[in-house]
Structure 1
Amino acid sequence: MSTTTATATEQIPSSRTEADPARVAKGTPLAHTAGVPVYGWGQAPPYLRTKTQLVADRLNVTEAQEAAPLAYVRTRDYGDVPLHDPAAAEKMRPLPSSTKAKMAARRTCSECGKVRKVILRGPCSACRERAEKERQRLLARTCAGCSTVRERPYPKEHRRCAGCRQEQLEKKRARVEAWLVEVTVCAGDGCTKRRGSKRAARAWLKERPWLLRPERTDLPDGFSGWPSWERRCPPCVTAYEQEQERQRAEYRERYERQERERAERERQAAAARVRWAAEALVDPDVLVLDTETTGLGDDARIVELAVLNSRGEVLLDTLLDPGVPVPAEAADIHGITTEALSGAPTFSDVLVQLTGLLDGKRCLIYNKWYDVGRLRHELTLHYLDRAAREAAEETVRTGTVPEDVRERAVAEAAKQAAAWLDVMTFEDVMIPYSDWVGDYSDYHGNNRWQPLLGGHRAAGDCRAVLDCLRSMGRDYAHEYATAAAGAGGTSEGTN
């Protein structure tokens, strides 16, 4: 015998032969949870209540009831909700008078002082409706022109006193007369010929009284709502059409001229890009730099640095110990792990060599904003160490610790890093190369940036940059190679 059947049987009086309808389920269970039936909505025994319903009846569910519900009701939003017997629940203790007073105060209207059934934030709905009706009555008794308030409401058509109504009608007559003159006289420049009659215009206006409302005083010339007659006389119509055609022709000519100029600017810019690439390949003062880092954030450190000249000769190619572990996601890209950097020099160790290589040279970088940002970060940390040492020496010398020692050290390090970068010449290759490829993106409104296929190692990426320059400047490679040979230079990179 199930739990539900046993409970129902115990509640049947001995004098009755059938079960109490209030304790009999209206449907069969959908499932069972730990032996307790789960009913659909409206199918459980009617006498069972949810915890929320018991609280509304000032009853508390006991711990025994909480642990062993008699049934569940399945709901769409809350899942299976337990059902309990109200006869076994405990009555709530009556609320203190102070709590009742606070609850009543939250439901008391600030206007009429009556206690309502819901919590109020200001006047109750009845007071708000009464205030709105009073406002409407006051508005009906207030002149829309001079704001004079009287005992009786003003006419609903205009809601004005006699003086304001007379002034309104005079203004309307003036607008009508001006409108009649406007629509019955040729609209051509300097032409005063009559077009149509005022009687026909008045008849047409009576069917459209909204046209001359005060807010419609600046309707444009040629408005489609004017009467059907032509606003211009035949000579003025011809002159107007000729003027419109002249303006359209002038606009077309200006647009075509601007398009030709834009196309010429783009052609010149494209030619300048390829000549820039061809010239860079034979310029002995051109270097290519690339870095590999611990990530893409502002605090990413350099783990590999390479510098090649325009002929592809390696001038610097070294791993750098960043002093921090290399994240796994970065190592998966360039293959440089923390263990591989053990014993590698630091950025400070190669800074003098790097300065000697870049000083007075043109340094080409693919996406220079990122690499220059990493150089700035490394330089700031380098000069920060020096600034910290100087601050420590000052502390030892003076016997006092400056209050702003950290701020001074950071500011001085940033200043020294900016000074180092200012004397260098960095040029970007990514934007010119992407414009040369011309993979236009409608979404970005510009050419897509092209990936650098260098294997994600510093020296390999530098060689990939040189390959990009060769692809761009191949049309002028022989011309610049001949010029460089005549000047005593060599250019193996153009072969």
Structure 2
Amino acid sequence: MKPLGAAAKAKMAARRTCPKCGKVRKQVVRGKECTVCRAKAYEEQRRREARTCWGCREVFERRLPAAHHRCGECRSKQLAELREKAAAWVEEVTVCAGDGCMVKLVTKTEARAFQKSQGKGRSWWYRAEHWARRCPSCTEAEERRQAEQRAEYERREQERREAERQEAEERQRWAAAALVDPDVVVLDTETTGLHAEARIIEIAVLSSRGEVLLDTLLDPGEPVPGDAADIHGITSDLVAGAPTFSSIAVRLTELLDHKRVLIYNKWFDVARLGHELTLHYLDRAARDAAEETARTGTAPDDVREQALALAGKQAAAWLDAMTFEDVMIPYSDWVGDYSEYHGSNRWQPLDGGHRAAEDCRAVLSCLRAMGRAHADDYAAAAIGADAMSEGTD
């Protein structure tokens, strides 16, 4: 084997040299010190800790007693605290624990003798098994109090279970009634994303019986992001040439006016409707501002702010005139997949394929599953109501 050169030997020695003590060790030194220096530092720390008071943390020249690790002053304080605790314990166990009761249960001499038998230096003591905590009258009163607490707890638990049962039945009846209500429609949208500026690119409205009232793509006037298209499959090419939201706004208003609009996670879809309505009314406000400028020959400085504020008010008024109801929370509560982390039932995904009309049909499927127990009752009532209306006609 060819002998190592001086440079290689120097590198190997440098790797085995301790940065702290400067000595060359047999093994490679990893870190800021070798194992010998580390062991010395550990022993020094142990010796220093043996000379450190556990009370005041002052370091002395000599080792402190291993029994308590305290200096004279701190040991005196510790013993004084132990005596105070011991005296307080004796006062506590010799008198009845009932509120305001001063009946003596055992003598202080007996309590001190039992206390000493538990061992020296202890800061807490057991109670003798044959000692009563309360006198007979206080024991009886405590048993009555605990019995009343148990009865109150059971009553509240029964009321809670009954309230949950009623809420569950109300959810089921709500779903069953919605399926036969002619004033119920289901709405769903597909968008360019989940952000606050996302645009609607597909919207569908179905009746409670599954009839398609509206199902159309919408041209958002901007490209559809690839990550959104990967979810619902709607690309920019598909929405090219589709109607705009403004062109279907009147038809949408006619379908939703005086109806109960059911939406799965209504907060998202209602927010998207509000954004589209704001843009719709903003175009109208901009046209009005342009006509005013052409008529007067002057343009106010805050014309855009005024137009945006007016459009927002008009969009909010449109939404306030509608009745939106959420399906996701009732359905998730009906499924009952409780999360300890969130302290509520987990939101259930809607298995509709991420297309507006199919998602509406999935919502109707959720309603059928929820209202199955009462479906026959409400269906019979709906048939009876139709028969009465036909007879009146």
2:221 to 323, 328, 331: 323
Match of 1:25 in 2: 7
Residue 365 and residue 183 in structure 1: after superposition, are their counterparts in 2 closer, same or farther (change >3 A)? closer
The structure with the largest alpha-carbon Rg is 1
Give deviations 1:56-93, integer Å, cap 9, x for gaps. xxxxxxxxxxxxxxxxxx9989xxxxxxxxxxxxxxxx
Shift of the 227–25 alpha-carbon distance from structure 1 to 2, 3 Å rule, reads: same
2:200 counterpart (291, 302, 305): 302
Alignment of 1:169-248 (within 5 A): 189-191=100-102, 193=104, 195-197=106-108, 236-248=134-146
Counterpart of 1:385 in structure 2: which amino acid?
A: D
Superposed, which structure 2 residues align to 1:278-357 within 5 Å? Answer: 278-357=176-255
The match for 2:391 is none
Higher normalized contact order (CA 8 Å, seq sep 6+, divided by chain length):
2
The alpha-carbon distance between structure 1 residues 228 and 476, as it changes in their structure 2 partners (threshold 3 A), is closer
Q: Deviations over 1:355-394 (max 9, x none)?
A: 0111100011111111111101101111111222223333
Counterpart AA for 1:387: A
Partner of 1:450 in structure 2? 348
Post-superposition Cα deviations, 1:101-156, rounded to whole Å, max 9, x if no partner, equal: xxxxxxxxxxxxxxxxxxxxxxxxxxxxxxxxxxxxxxxxxxxxxxxxxxxxxxx9
- TM superposition shift of 1:208: 9.4
Which residue identity is paired with 1:377?
H
Distance 1:229 1:367 in 2: 61
Match of 2:107, SS state, is coil
Alignment partner, residue 382 of structure 1: 280
Question: Contact 2:352–2:362 (CA<8 Å) still a contact in 1?
Answer: yes
- CA apart distance, 1:200: 8.3
1:468 CA displacement: 1.4
Question: Helix, strand or coil for the counterpart of 1:42?
Answer: helix
**Superposition deviation, residue 315 in structure 1:** 0.9
- Given that 1:287 and 1:308 are in contact with CA atoms closer than 8 Å, whether structure 2 keeps it comes out as yes
Q: Structure 1 residues 340, 75: closer, same or farther in 2, change over 3 A?
A: farther
**Counterparts of residues 439-478 of structure 1 (less than 5 Å):** 439-478=337-376
CA-to-aligned-CA distance 1:404-426 (integer Å, 9 cap, x gap): 22222222111111110001001
CA distance in 2, matches of 1:76, 1:232: 64
Aligned residue type for 1:25 = A
Q: Equivalent residue for 1:270?
A: 168
Instruction: Say which SS state the counterpart of residue 443 (structure 1) adopts.
Output: coil
SS of the counterpart of 1:317? strand
Q: Hey, what's the Cα distance between the residues in 1 that align with 2:361 and 2:204?
A: 10
Question: Normalising by the residue count of structure 1, what TM-score does the alignment of the two structures yield?
Answer: 0.57
Unmatched runs of 5 consecutive residues or more in structure 2 = 16-27, 32-71, 75-84, 389-393
Amino acid at match of 1:450: Q
CA distance in 1, matches of 2:104, 2:323: 73
1:239 is displaced (CA, Å) by: 2.7
Distance 1:284 1:312 in 2: 11
SS at match of 1:307: strand
> C-alpha distance in 2, partners of 1:332/1:200?
78
Alignment partners' CA distance in 2, 1:199 and 1:181: 12
> Letter of the aligned partner of 2:384 in structure 1?
G
Q: 1:284 to 1:76 in 2, by over 3 A?
A: same
Q: Per the alignment, do residues 466 and 183 of structure 1 end up closer, same or farther by CA in structure 2, a change over 3 Å counting?
A: closer
Q: CA–CA distance in 1 between the matches of 2:110 and 2:143?
A: 35
What is the aligned-residue identity percentage? 62
**Distance 1:179-1:436 versus aligned 2 partners, 3 A rule:** closer
Secondary structure at the aligned position of 1:426 is classed as: strand
The offset of 1:237, in angstroms, is 2.5
Structure 1 distance, partners of 2:336, 2:258, is 32
The more displaced of 237-246 and 471-480 is 237-246
Mapping of residues 383-398 of structure 1, within 5 Å: 383-398=281-296
- Tell me if the contact between 1:440 and 1:448 (Cα under 8 Å) persists in the aligned partners: yes
Cα shift at 1:438: 2.1
**Residues 272 and 411 (structure 1), Cα distance of their counterparts in 2 relative to 1, 3 Å cut:** same
Contact kept? 2:203, 2:217, Cα under 8 Å: yes
Structure 2 CA distance for partners of 1:225 and 1:419, relative to 1, 3 Å: same
Q: Contact conserved, 2:91 with 2:108, CA < 8 A, in 1?
A: no
Cα distance in structure 2, aligned partners of 1:208 and 1:261: 52
Distance of aligned partners of 1:194 and 1:349 in 2 relative to their CA distance in 1, 3 Å threshold: closer
Greater percentage in helix: 2
- Alignment-derived partner of residue 218 in structure 1: none
Amino acid at match of 1:436: W
Asked whether the equivalents of residues 195 and 230 of structure 1 are also in contact (C-alpha less than 8 Å), the reply is no
SS at 2:174 equivalent? helix
Instruction: Identify which range, 452-461 or 352-361, moves more after superposition.
Output: 452-461
The runs of at least 4 aligned residues of structure 1 exceeding 6 Å deviation read: 74-77, 175-184, 198-202, 207-211, 226-233
Q: Within 2, Cα distance between the matches of 1:24 and 1:477?
A: 93
Give the Cα separation in 2 of the matches to 1:242 and 1:208: 36
SS at match of 1:487: helix
CA distance in 1, matches of 2:73, 2:349: 73
**Kept in 1: contact 2:188–2:269 (CA 8 A):** yes
| Contact residue 105 and residue 135 of structure 2 kept, 8 A | no
What corresponds to 1:252 in structure 2? 150
Q: CA deviation at 1:251?
A: 2.0
Note the 1:40-51 alignment, pairs <5 A: 40-42=11-13
| Conserved 8 A contact 1:185-1:231 | no
Which position in structure 2 is the counterpart of 1:484? 382
Q: C-alpha distance in 1, partners of 2:93/2:335?
A: 60
- The answer to whether the aligner puts 1:362 opposite 2:271 as a matched pair is no
Q: Quickly say closer, same or farther: Cα 1:183–1:290, change in 2 above 3 A.
A: closer
**Which TM-score applies when normalising by structure 2?**
0.71
